[in-house]
Amino acid sequence: MSASTTATSSSTSKYGRAFRERLWRLSGINFISLDTGEYRGPHSDQRSVPMTSRRLLTTATAGACSLVLLGAAGSALETTMTSAVTQPNTQAPASETIRPFRISVPKAALADLRRRIAATRWPTKELVADRSQGVQLATLRELARYWTTDYDWRKVEAKLNALPQFVTKIDGVEIHFIHVKSQHENALPLIMTHGWPGSVIELLETVGPLTDPTKYGGTPGDAFHLVLPSLPGYGFSGEPTELGWESGRIAQAWAKLMERLGYTRYVAQGGDVGASVTDAMGRQAPKGLVGIHLSLLAGALGIADRLPAKSEQEQAAHKALATFRTTGFGYFLEQSTRPQTIGYSLLDSPVGLAAWLLDHDTDSYYKISRAFVDGKPVGNLTRESIVDNITLYWLTQTGTSAARWYWEFGQLLARAGSEAPPPVKVPVGFTTFPGEIWAAPRSWVETVYPGLAYFNAVDRGGHFAAWEEPKLFSEELRAAFRTVRSTRGATR
C-alpha cells in the first residue's frame, strides 16, 4: 500500500512530524557503472570496499553486454542484453539509448534457492486461528513445499522473454520495462505502474486484453500500446544510488521514458505505489499526458477527517481505513522507518521474503492462502503466479531496495508537512474494487479529485486487481480512457 501526496490535513502534519523524529541516514550504496565499468559510491577513493549483495558488473563484447548480479552464495543471475537499438531520434546520446533485455537465470542460482528453502528454521504454529499474528504456518509450509518440488521458474522466464523487454538509463538509474505495441491503428499509449509487493509480473495477464482487445471482447478502438516499467529498485530496474527517489521523481522519469519512446499523447495507470506515482504524474501534467486512472485512493490516509461518513459505503470505508491503521500497518511502518533492518532478512531467507511479501492486506492474504492450503485460487492469484513474483524478488535481490520507497515517502511527508499538493491537471478515472484495503466510495474519490471524469464500482477484485481479475481490469481501463482517445492516433 502507498499513501499519496494528496495527504493535506493536520493529521498529515502530525504524521510528518513523527517521521522527523525517526530520521536516520541511509548508508551509501556502492556499484559498478553500467556505462563505464568504473566503481562509484561514497568510497570511490578506495580500491577495496564491501559491495552490497546486489552487485552490478558489466563486460563489453562485440555488439553485446552482459549484466551479472552476484548472489550472496556466489551464484550469478545473468541477463543478456544485445547491442543498443536505434532510437526514434537516432542522434540521441549514448546514455539515452534503449537496449533490448533478456533474462537467463543460471541453474546454480535456482539450486541455491531450493537449498535455502530446505534449510529454513521454522517457528512454532501461531496461537490464533486467523492472520492476526501474521502469516500462518500452514500457508508458508505449503508454499515452501510447492516452491521446492512443483514450481518451475523457467516458465515465467520464457513468458517474460517472449515479450519485448528493454532497459534505458533515466536520471542515473537503469529502468527496465516491457513495451508491447498494438497492431491496431490509433492505439493509445498507456504506461502502467505496479506497486509493493508486486512487480511487472502482476500485470502480465493484461497485456493481451489491452494490446489486442478484439481477442478479448473489445474493438480495435479499445487498443493500447503498453509500457510496463519496473519501479527503481524493483525487479530488473537498477537500484537508486542516491536519496530522493520518491513518487514525484519516478513520475518525472516515466514522462521522460514516454518521451524517449516517441509518444506525444498518452495515459497512465497505477495501483498501490503505482497509484502514488500516477497521482504525481497527474499533478505534474507532463507534456503529452492526457489522463490517469487509479484503483487505490491512497490519499485517504491523510484526510480521513474530511471524508464523508454518512452512507453505508462511506462508513464501511472509514472502518476499513481504521482497521488498516490499527492492525494492518506493520509492513508500512517498518519499511517507512527502517527498510534496511528488514532488508537483511529479505535477502537472506527465501521463506522470510515470502512471508513478508504475503503479509500485506487481509483480502489478498486469504485469497493467496486459499490457493496454497485449499488449492482454490481466486481469479489469477494462482500458486504459480504468486511464486513467480516472490522468486523475481529473490533472484534480483531487490527486497531491500524496493522497501526503501516507503522511507522516501516518509521523508517526503516530513518535508511537506501540511502543505497542499498542486491540483491534478488531467482527467481522472477511478475504479473501486470491493476487496481493496479500503473500497473508496465515489464521494471520497471526488473529494480528492474534484471533477472526476470516470468512476465505477465493480463486483469483484481486490488490491491486486490487474493480477487477480485481468479481464475485468482491462475492461475498466478501456471504459475510463474512452473519452480521451483521439482518432488522430497518439504516437510519433
* 3-class secondary structure, 304: helix
The strand order across the sheet containing 102-104 reads 55-61, 64-70, 76-82, 102-104
151 carries an active-site annotation: no
Residue 488 gets the label, from left (phi > 0), alpha (psi -120 to 50) or beta, of: alpha
CA distance 391 to 320: 31
- Report DSSP state, residue 372: I
Q: Which of 100, 162, 140, 190 has the alpha carbon at shortest distance from 466? A: 190
Exposure pattern of 10-40 as b/e (b: 16+ CB <10 Å)? Answer: ebbbebbeebeeeeeeeeebbbbebeeeebe
Catalytic residue among 272, 279, 361, 388: 272
Per residue, the 3-state secondary structure of 328-345, as one string, reads: CCHHHHHHHHCHHHHHHH
Residue 48's contacts (CB-CB under 8 Å, 6 or more residues apart) are: none
Q: Which of 15, 151, 366, 406 is catalytic?
A: 406
- From the list 184, 194, 293, 463, the catalytic residue is 463
- Does the annotation count 171 as an active-site position? no
Distances (CA, A) of 226 to 60, 270, 433: 31, 13, 22
Q: Which three cell numbers stand for residue 390?
A: 516472490
Rounded distance between C-alpha atoms, residue 470 and residue 257, angstroms: 25
Pairwise CA distance, residues 362 & 89, whole Å: 47
Q: Which helix (H) or strand (E) holds 252?
A: helix 247-260
Beta bridge partners of 268: 191, 292
Q: DSSP H helical segments within 311-438, as ranges?
A: 312-327, 330-337, 339-348, 350-358, 362-369, 383-396, 399-416
- Tell me if 391 sits within 8 A of 481, measured CB to CB: no
Burial class (CB in 10 A: 0-12, 13-18, 19+), 65: middle
Q: Which three cell numbers stand for residue 338?
A: 527502517
For 312, other C-beta atoms within 10 Å of its C-beta total 8
Q: Are 53 and 397 in contact (CB under 8 A)?
A: yes
* Residue linked to cell 495477464: 205
406 is catalytic: yes
* Active site residues per annotation: 272, 406, 463
